[in-house]
């Protein structure tokens, strides 16, 4: 009956109970599970939590509740919200960084503009020391970015020296800006992928993608608030039920 009311399979209900999302069911003499109002209410809260937090976090929260470890459940909720807060801050920082990219293009520096012009007209890519000097970074930083897959210079066949064409120089410029903003390598990789996927390589495309992620994050935050409300409602019912049960026993 519980599965039918929730619109899920009997096996799903068993899985929920086994995972700790539901209180342990009592058994009949024949071994059949018996579910009551506590299971109905737990299932309602659990399904909202799974949608908002994902299966693993929802299991951690509800299993802790059902073994009476409310501190662990609350700490898990706090940790999950803190993760969203950190992600929101990273997105905000990235958006600010791309505003800098847009307002401070690579060729804004006259020396870099001349170097890019030389690369284009004479097909003479920059050497690592030249690019490092123009960007104001160490050559070791450029080598590290290469090892991390962020910047891809070509190699001279005879000497093996690194050479940076316009595309590699622009990538290095973007990486430098993002590294100065203390962005994670994951964000930098994603930003470069977006730049490369854009036909004209405009950083505005990256900004649009970050704004999309920001909107998605807002929806995830709202979903978790709704899940928190469902959890509190379940906890309040538990507390009220225990109080009522205790009063009945004393009478």
- What is the token pair recorded at 130? 């030249």
Note if the pTM is more than 0.85: no
Q: Pairing mode, if any, of strands 33-34 and 162-164?
A: unpaired
Contact present, 43 and 6 (Cβ < 8 Å): yes
**Looking at the predicted structure, is the pLDDT value of residue 100 above 50?**
yes
Three-state DSSP state, 225? helix
For 203-224, the pLDDT digits (tens) are: 677 777 788 889 999 999 999 9
Is the pLDDT assigned to residue 247 strictly greater than 60?
Answer: no
| Mean pLDDT score of the chain | 87
- CATH 1.10.1660.10 boundaries in the chain: 2-80+223-244, 86-214
Least Cα distance to 101 among 180, 166, 168 occurs for 180
CB contact at 8 A, 221 and 18 = no
Specify which of 29-33, 97-101, 113-117, 159-163 reaches the highest per-range mean pLDDT: 159-163
**Mutual angle of helices 139-147 and 128-135, in 10-degree steps:** 110
Collapsed DSSP state (helix, strand, coil) of residue 28: coil
Q: Band of the pLDDT at 83, cuts 50, 70, 90? A: very high
Angle CA(61)–CA(20)–CA(65) in degrees, nearest 5? 40
Greatest mean pLDDT range, 2-16, 198-212, 228-242: 228-242
* CATH classification for the domain delimited by 86-214, as one of 1.10.3720.10, 1.25.40.340, 1.10.760.10, 1.10.1660.10: 1.10.1660.10
pLDDT band at 250 (very low <50, low <70, confident <90, very high): very low
Q: What is the chain's length? A: 251
| E runs forming strands in the chain | 26-27, 33-34, 126-127, 154-155, 162-164
Pairwise CA distance, residues 209 & 163, whole Å: 31
What distance, in Å, lies between the first and last C-alpha atoms of the chain? 33
Contact 140, 161 (CB under 8 A): no
Average pLDDT over every residue of 89-107: 74
The predicted pLDDT at position 248 comes to: 54
Contact 230, 47 (CB under 8 A): no
Q: Give CA angle at 99 (93, 103), nearest 5°.
A: 150
Residue 157 has pLDDT above 50, yes or no: yes
Question: For the residues 43-53, what does the mean pLDDT come to?
Answer: 96
Q: Which CATH number is 2-80+223-244's, of 1.10.1660.10, 1.10.10.10, 3.90.78.10, 1.10.1760.20?
A: 1.10.1660.10
Residue 245: band (very low, low, confident or very high) from pLDDT cuts 50, 70, 90: low
CB of 142 closer than 8 Å to CB of 131? yes
């Amino acid at each position: 009956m519980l599965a039918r009311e929730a619109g899920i399979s009997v096996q799903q209900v068993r899985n929920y109970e086994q995972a700790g999302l539901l209180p342990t069911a009592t058994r009949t003499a024949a071994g059949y599970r018996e579910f009551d109002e506590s299971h109905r209410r737990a299932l309602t809260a659990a399904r909202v939590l799974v949608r908002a937090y994902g299966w693993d976090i929802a299991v951690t929260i509800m299993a802790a509740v059902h073994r009476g470890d409310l501190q662990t459940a609350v700490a898990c909720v706090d940790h999950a919200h803190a993760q969203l807060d950190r992600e929101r801050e990273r997105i905000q920082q990235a958006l600010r960084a791309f505003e800098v990219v847009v307002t401070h293009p690579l060729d804004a520096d006259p020396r870099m503009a001349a170097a890019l012009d030389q690369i284009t007209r004479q097909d003479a890519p920059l050497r690592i020391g030249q690019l490092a000097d123009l960007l104001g970074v160490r050559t070791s930083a450029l080598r590290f970015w290469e090892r991390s897959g962020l910047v891809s210079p070509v190699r001279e066949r005879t000497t093996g020296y690194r050479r940076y064409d316009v595309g590699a120089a622009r990538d290095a410029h973007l990486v430098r800006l993002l590294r100065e903003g203390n962005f994670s390598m994951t964000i930098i990789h994603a930003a470069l992928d977006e730049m490369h996927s854009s036909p004209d390589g405009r950083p505005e495309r990256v900004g649009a993608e970050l704004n999309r992620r920001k909107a998605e994050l807002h929806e995830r935050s709202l979903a978790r608030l709704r899940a928190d409300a469902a959890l509190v409602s379940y906890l309040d019912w538990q507390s009220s039920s225990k109080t009522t049960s205790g009063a009945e026993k004393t009478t």
